[in-house]
């Protein structure tokens, strides 16, 4: 829901950083991999309940995730790069709640599992529609520079980052935050299924 506004705010610093990265000869895929490796470091920090350290690695992952896309737009967007980026993103998103589960199994296990379950809903509805939209050559009217058709919702990347920041700052309330965010994710999933189905149904009818 907030991604379109967040993009406008971060566009200049991210594009500036991308130009610097491009001049060094670093490829977009290398930025993606570096961001993922740094993101993985949040897991041991979470497991050890070092939440401030985990937050640093989460922030680095998300910053590099924005930079890699900007670098790709300079160097040329590729299907392989888009595939790598979205795959590693969803792995990272699931890693964070799993880290909280490991940190305190008795308090966080069910809430963490429910949040990961909700991420499956948002992820599959996102990816399934993107595949079909690409097959039917449906263009995205909002996110024109994405390698996939980006169908939005209540919980997009910006909201997910806010959720991760919040649980790191208030780990004692992880369960309540996770349940709340998971519920919002299911609303997103439901609206994506409805919008995606009807969009593709219309395309089916107009296809020669």
Give residue 201's pLDDT band: very low, low, confident or very high (50, 70, 90): confident
Give residue 6's pLDDT band: very low, low, confident or very high (50, 70, 90): low
* Token duo for residue 51: 């939440």
Cα distances (Å, whole numbers) of residue 35 to 26, 82, 89, 103, 197: 13, 14, 10, 23, 33
For residue range 94-126, list pLDDT tens digits in order. Answer: 999 999 999 999 999 999 999 999 999 999 998
Cα distances (Å, whole numbers) of residue 134 to 41, 179, 188: 34, 33, 21
Closest C-alpha to 121, from 169, 153, 97: 153
Give residue 142's pLDDT band: very low, low, confident or very high (50, 70, 90): very low
Residues written for the chain: 208
Domains of the chain, earliest start first: 3-206 (1.20.120.1760)
For residue range 78-91, list pLDDT tens digits in order. Answer: 999 999 999 999 99
Evaluate whether 117 touches 107 at the Cβ level (below 8 Å).
Answer: no
Answer whether residue 3 shows pLDDT above 70.
no
Local structure of residue 25 (DSSP, 8 states): T
- pLDDT of amino acid 132: 86
Evaluate whether 196 touches 151 at the Cβ level (below 8 Å).
Answer: yes
Q: Percent of the chain at pLDDT above 70?
A: 89
* Token duo for residue 83: 């595939």
Conformation bin of residue 78: beta by default, left when phi > 0, alpha when psi is -120 to 50: beta
Q: How far apart, in whole angstroms, are the C-alpha atoms of residue 153 and residue 65?
A: 20
What is the rounded average pLDDT for all residues in the chain? 89
Q: How far apart, in whole angstroms, are the C-alpha atoms of residue 74 and residue 85?
A: 16
Answer whether residue 143 shows pLDDT above 50.
no
For residue range 26-60, list pLDDT tens digits in order. Answer: 999 999 999 999 999 999 999 999 999 999 999 99
Give residue 198's pLDDT band: very low, low, confident or very high (50, 70, 90): confident
- pLDDT of amino acid 129: 87
Map tokens 């993606």 to a residue.
32
Evaluate whether 68 touches 28 at the Cβ level (below 8 Å).
Answer: yes
Give residue 144's pLDDT band: very low, low, confident or very high (50, 70, 90): very low
Answer whether residue 141 shows pLDDT above 60.
no
- pLDDT of amino acid 46: 98
């Amino acid at each position: 829901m907030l991604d379109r506004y967040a993009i406008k705010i971060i566009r200049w610093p991210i594009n500036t950083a991308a130009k610097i990265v491009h001049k060094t000869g670093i490829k977009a895929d290398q930025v993606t991999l570096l961001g993922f490796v740094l993101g993985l470091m949040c897991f041991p920090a979470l497991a050890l309940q070092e939440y401030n350290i985990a937050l640093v690695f989460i922030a680095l992952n998300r910053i590099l995730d924005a930079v890699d896309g900007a670098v790709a737009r300079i160097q040329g967007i590729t299907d392989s790069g888009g595939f790598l980026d979205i795959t590693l993103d969803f792995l990272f998103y699931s890693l964070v709640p799993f880290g909280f589960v490991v940190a305190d199994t008795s308090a966080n296990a069910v809430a963490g599992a429910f949040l990961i379950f909700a991420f499956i809903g948002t992820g599959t509805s996102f990816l399934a529609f993107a595949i079909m939209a690409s097959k039917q050559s449906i263009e995205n009217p909002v996110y024109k520079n994405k390698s996939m058709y980006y169908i939005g919702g209540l919980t997009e990347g910006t909201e997910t980052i806010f959720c991760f920041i919040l649980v790191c700052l208030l780990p004692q309330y992880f369960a309540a935050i996770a349940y709340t965010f998971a519920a919002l994710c299911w609303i997103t999933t439901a609206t994506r299924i409805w919008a995606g189905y009807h969009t593709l149904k219309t395309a089916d009818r107009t296809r020669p």
